[in-house]
Structures are given as structure tokens and as C-alpha cells.
Chains A and B, each alone.
Chain A
Amino acid sequence: MLIQILLIAAILVIGFLVIRNPGSDSHLAIRRLLLLGFVVAAVLSVLFPQWLTWVATLIGVGRGTDLLLYALVVVVLVFIATQYRANVEQNRRITQLARRIALLEARESESRAEPTRHSPDGPTGGQG
């Protein structure tokens, strides 16, 4: 059935997007376009409930509510994937921040312990 192909394709695309490195800006744009499409579809299905059922039968799903459920599953998966990515990125930033603090503190206590010798090579610039 058509719906099975559509759902499997959607799930595979999501899985791929999670693994693939996101090109931040275009990724954001795609997400926003999808969200826009989602809003339009939602409004339409409120105004014309038959429309949803019509699409559902067209692609091999019995009722509009079933189609809605499937769409919801896909949307949840997308949400998990994006949240996971955002979380990884967030953690990376926290790590860099914490590392900078740790190194600054260590340098400070070192130069206090050896007042004759200033911190070995002075404050260093950016970190990798």
C-alpha cells in the first residue's frame, strides 16, 4: 500500500537526518517550511474534515483519523531527532565552557603557588 511506502520513506529520511551532519541554516529553513506545511494542513483538516479522509483513501489508509495518527508518529520521530541533535550541540558547548573555567582556575592556582615564576606561558588565547 502507498501509505506503507510513505511511512517507511519518512522514517528512513529521519534516521538519515539524525546521522548526517546538519548544515545548520538550510536545516532550520527546511524545518520551518515543514512546520508551515503542518500548520496549513492542520487548519485545512479542521475546516474540511472530509479532505483528510479523501487524502487517506487516496493513499490507502481507511480513515482520516488513521492518517492523522500516522502523521503524528512521524512528527514525534522528527521531534526526537531534532531534540537529540540540539542536546548534543548543547552538551558540546557546556563542555567547552567548563573546560575553559577549569583551565583558567588551574592556571591561577599555579601562578599563586609559584609566585616567582609567572604562569608558564602566560594566558593563552582561544582553545580548540
Chain B
Amino acid sequence: MPDAESWVVIPLYNEATVIGDVIAGLLPSFPNVVCVDDGSSDGSAAIAEAAGARVVRHPVNLGQGAALQTGIEYALEHPSARYLVTFDADGQHRVDDAVGMVRRAREADLSIVFGSRFLDDRTNPGLIKRVILKTAVWVTNKSTGLRLTDAHNGLRVIRRDAAERVHLKQDRMAHATEIVLQLGNTGLAWQEYPVELLYTDYSKAKGQSVLNSINILVDLVVR
């Protein structure tokens, strides 16, 4: 059944080959899909619009964190948006997981549900990625005081009360730690939920490079 009060927010940057399918997969479950086009140069925005998403366009490229914040603010302008679902544009998240997370948020009266790929063994990120991610988890837990099993997982469900207290200042990748910090500081109820990440050749090719984790660390320490 379509869920009109859960709005999906997708930061979108140069994903023309996959974004159409991602949106087509989401719409039957979530009729309100917001794509924040972050200055794509490959026509991603037009494809997203044609696929049936609401498209918010950044006039210049700002970074994924900035796009996420814009999407959150846009969705919150609509009174019908009770839950926000943050979702990646590259097709590595499963719509079923998102549906399950919203259901969990409703049933357990949670403000925040974090997707985690490490709660079960469906996802196999490979050794190097696992080491980097676990380091990111450690840094995130150290700096936020929460105890998460996954970090930098783009699939989250955020209820309006929590989303209104998110003000991301990290324009680039470090927002993934910042958002955990800000959500943790709200003191609202949260849980993790096991999700599977689909590592396609496409998402692997586009994924975070090892060097970028250094950028994230610097962004977090030097503000």
C-alpha cells in the first residue's frame, strides 16, 4: 500500500544511468520522492523528473550533505510529510528495507531508525571496505556517544520531530557522522534496523575511495 506520509529524500549527483530505476522502484511504496539534484551535468535531474520524482535543483554542486539538508528542508515544508526516508541514488538500498524501517518506526514509536548492514550477514562489503567502515563506526560512536554498528549508511528513517532538529553544516561526506551526532543529541528514541546493501558493479565503481575517508576525518576535526 502506498505510504503518502513518508517522503523519500534522495541526494542526486550524476546518476543518470540508475536514478530512473531507483525512483520507479520507490514510487509504488512511496508516492512522494524528492530528488535533490546537486548540479548534475549528465541530465540526472530531467530523468528523475520524468520518472515521477519531485526535483529540487541546486544551482551549483555543493556536496551530498548539502543536498540532504536541502531535501530535508523541502520535505518538511509539506505538512503531509510525517516520516523522511533518506535513500541513496545509486541503487544500493532496497525499497523493502525502507518500508520495513518505516513500519518499525511506527510500531515502536521511534523518531529515528538507522539502517545497518552489519546486523546480519546478508551484506558482504569486502575486507578493505569493512575495515574502513568499522573505523568510521568507531569514530562516529566516539564523537556522538551513540553505539551504532554501521556508519555512512544512507538509509535512515527520520520522523518530523527529529528531522526538524537536523541542521547539517558538513556539505560533503562528513555529514553522515554529523547527522548521527545531531540526531543523537535530540535524545529522541532510535533503533538500528538490519538492511542489505546491494553492491552492484556500478555502485562499487562509484563508491567511496579509501582516500576520501581522510577527507572525512579532516572535515570532522577541522571545522
Contacts and interface: CB of A to CB of B under 8 A. Distances in A.
A120 B77 CA distance: 7
A32 B57 CA distance: 41
B206 interface: no
Where chain A touches its partner, the secondary structure class is helix
Nearest to B66: A95
A98 B77 contact: no
Interface residues of B, number: 23
A121 B171 CA distance: 27
B77 A124 contact: yes
A88 B223 CA distance: 8
Contact of B221 (A19, A21, A101, A124): A19
Nearest to B164: A128
A101 B222 CA distance: 28
Nearest to A124: B77
Nearest to A21: B223
A107 B57 CA distance: 11
A127 interface: yes
Interface of B: 36, 54-60, 62, 66, 69-70, 73-74, 77-79, 167, 169, 171, 221-223
Interface of A: 18-19, 21, 84, 88, 91-92, 94-95, 98-99, 101-103, 105-107, 110, 120-121, 124, 127-128
